[in-house]
C-alpha cells in the first residue's frame, strides 16, 4: 500500500495511473482487507451505537476514492496518493461519529477521531456545546492523552458571539477537533501490531468520540436563538 502510493505521488497523472492499474487493484484489495479487520477491532472497543453498525457494513463502503473530484480540486493533481477510510455506520453519516484512518508514505499515516463541521450554524452549535461542557471536553482529552491536531482555518481570536474570556476560548478557535495516533512508515510492517495499536487508541479516544456524538446530536441554533429567553 505504501509502495504504490509513493510511486503515484511521483507520477501523479492519468497515463501512469492507468498503465499501473493492476498494482492499484492489488493495493486497494490489501486496504479493503485491512479496513475489514479494523472495523472489527474498533467494534471490540467502542460503544454499541457504533459497534453494532460496524458489524454489518461492507468495508468497501467505508473507503474514500484515490481519484480526486476535479470539479472541486481544480488546480490539484488528479489523484490523492493515500488510502483512507472512515469507520462508521456510513462514510457520509454524521452520527454516530466514527474513526478515520489514512495510510500514506512519508510518515503521514494516522488513525483518529474527532469532530468536523462544514455548516456554519452547525459549527456554532458544536462550539456552544464545547463551551457549555468544557470540563467534560478537557477530561476526554486528558483521558486520551492526545493533543488536538493543528488544522487549517483555526482562528486567531475567539469567534464572534462568544466571550473572549470563555474558559473554552482556545478550543472555540478550532473549526475541526481531531486527535490521532501517528505511524511512521517503518512501523507499518505487520497488520497484527498495527491493529493492536488501533485497539489501544480507541480505548483512549472513545470518551472524546462519545463527546462529539452528543455535540453533533444537538439541534443547530441560529445566533439569535435564545436571546430573549430570559425573563426581565
Torsion of CA 66, 35, 145, 175, to 10 degrees: 40
pLDDT (0 to 100) of residue 219: 67
Q: How far apart are CA 30 and CA 32, in angstroms?
A: 5
**pLDDT tens-digit readout, 22-54:** 999 999 999 999 999 999 999 999 989 999 999
What is the residue-averaged pLDDT of the chain? 91
Of 8, 10, 201, whose CA–CA distance to 110 is shortest? 201
pLDDT (0 to 100) of residue 218: 80
Q: What is the pTM of this model?
A: 0.91
In 3-state terms, what secondary structure has residue 187? Answer: helix
Share of the chain above pLDDT 90, in %: 81
Contacts of 156 by beta carbon, 8 Å cutoff, 6+ apart: 173
Task: Specify which of 35-44, 65-74, 109-118 reaches the highest per-range mean pLDDT.
Answer: 35-44
Amino acid at each position: 500500500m505504501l509502495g504504490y502510493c509513493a510511486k503515484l505521488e511521483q507520477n501523479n497523472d492519468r497515463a501512469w495511473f492507468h498503465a499501473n492499474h493492476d498494482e492499484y487493484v492489488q493495493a486497494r484489495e490489501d486496504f479493503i482487507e485491512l479496513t475489514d479487520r479494523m472495523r472489527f477491532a474498533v467494534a471490540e472497543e467502542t460503544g454499541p451505537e457504533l459497534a453494532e453498525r460496524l458489524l454489518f457494513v461492507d468495508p468497501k463502503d467505508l473507503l474514500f476514492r484515490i481519484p480526486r473530484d476535479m470539479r472541486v480540486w481544480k488546480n490539484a493533481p488528479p489523484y490523492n496518493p493515500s488510502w483512507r477510510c472512515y469507520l462508521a455506520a456510513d462514510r457520509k453519516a454524521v452520527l454516530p461519529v466514527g474513526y478515520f484512518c489514512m495510510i500514506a508514505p512519508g510518515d503521514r499515516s494516522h488513525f483518529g477521531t474527532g469532530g468536523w463541521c462544514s455548516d456554519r450554524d452547525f459549527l456554532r452549535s458544536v462550539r456552544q456545546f464545547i463551551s457549555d461542557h468544557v470540563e467534560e471536553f478537557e477530561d476526554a482529552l486528558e483521558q486520551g492523552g492526545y493533543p488536538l491536531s493543528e488544522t487549517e482555518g483555526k482562528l486567531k481570536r475567539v469567534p464572534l458571539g462568544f466571550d473572549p474570556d470563555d474558559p473554552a476560548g482556545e478550543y472555540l478557535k478550532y473549526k475541526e477537533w481531531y486527535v490521532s495516533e501517528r505511524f511512521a512508515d517503518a512501523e507499518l510492517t505487520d497488520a497484527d501490531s498495527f491493529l493492536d495499536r488501533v485497539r489501544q487508541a480507541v480505548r483512549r479516544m472513545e470518551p472524546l468520540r462519545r463527546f462529539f456524538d452528543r455535540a453533533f446530536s444537538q439541534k443547530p441554533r441560529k445566533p439569535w436563538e435564545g436571546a430573549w429567553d430570559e425573563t426581565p
